[in-house]
A and B are shown apart, each in its own frame.
Chain A
């Protein structure tokens, strides 16, 4: 209970910070979108993200499909009446393409919603992987010092010397793009940063008297690292984790944007922006909505992190 309880407490304390609360709301909004993507799509008469209708419809375009054929002349009010009146007897399918469709006729709203699912699976997962690698190494390097620290720090510096995106490009051109490889690349690129944070905290904490007490009690290194040191690093780590999920979201978006992202049919915000690049001036809606989506989600995480930092300073 202890650790989870305190984790929960960290979030609970956030209610003191208005900025943090806004962040929580935004993130929650997207989490709900991601969880209920299927349901939302069904309820709002949006198509499956892969289904295609008519390419490049502008937002709020009414759509009626009858026998697989698109009828597009009916005014919006009538469509709404049709939907609410329940007169849809299966003869035809109808709805409004709220955000328009893209160049191959896929509905943008449904793809944005499903995109949330993709990113909210990938970003936290990649961050988690990076933590699993970075935390133990940082702890041991900071606590033990000496050659272990020097070796690990050198390796971390090595990785950090690559501009992140260059590193991604190199890794992904070498091993090819796939879901796993992207996860791998993100883990590889962000664990050194986590390593540095944890190392710093461990270095600071290792001279505390309670650590000396544990040492003179003859505790094992393992126990000192994970039971005595780690819980005291949770404040900065939690803040960093939130920032890092946001940052990883951007990274995955950029990968999608430069064409190294998740394989094509997966709804992916970065990829959506990339596909719209050529038509941006004429059909800005294709790019704008996924851009808004990713920006708000990242903003949510950043505000959350900021609120947490503020609250932890007061605590």
Chain B
């Protein structure tokens, strides 16, 4: 009984992190209008109430932030003038997404996941699709997670051609064209992989990274640098943080039922 409110709060925090990541708030708003409310990202554990059986519910949480203690990189802007359809959708210059340091000194777009500690347990993939949107010639989100076998819905929110060239090493690669606005394609990855890179060749700045895991315990650091791995079974875990430029770091953590362990990462560039 005592756990109930805390639980809800954690769930909300998870959703907030999810919305925050990969896109600026105004982008997210534009997306929900055009895409009928499709959120830029839905973490697998945020499926409560959607009618999908959640993974075997634990009640532990691993939470923390990803700090950045390196030199603040100069913001580099993307040149989109080659495709007027892309340029048109941005009033302000768009910054590259590879290194995004938040105002509070934390690092965005870090994929944090349980690397070990869940051996022997199986987690059925949710039937709900994870959405990878292409909006304003940017991927939303830029970094995301998905479960093995979970549907991936790739959406073209733009009135221009994107090709989605995903090159997993462990699953079937694909390179598909989405020439028409609103076009959707369903794909899935059949094996675990950190990380699958998807890119658009028409717009060479477009890249997305997808972490494919056999379980739902992953998160992406958002605009406050925070992440949260929710509803973990009690146990000892190795947690890894992955960043596209700065590589990986691991930490260990113990969580008991209803407990929250905190783990912080610090990338220095």
Q: Do A and B come from one complex?
A: no
Query: Using a CB–CB distance below 8 Å, which chain B residues touch chain A?
Result: none
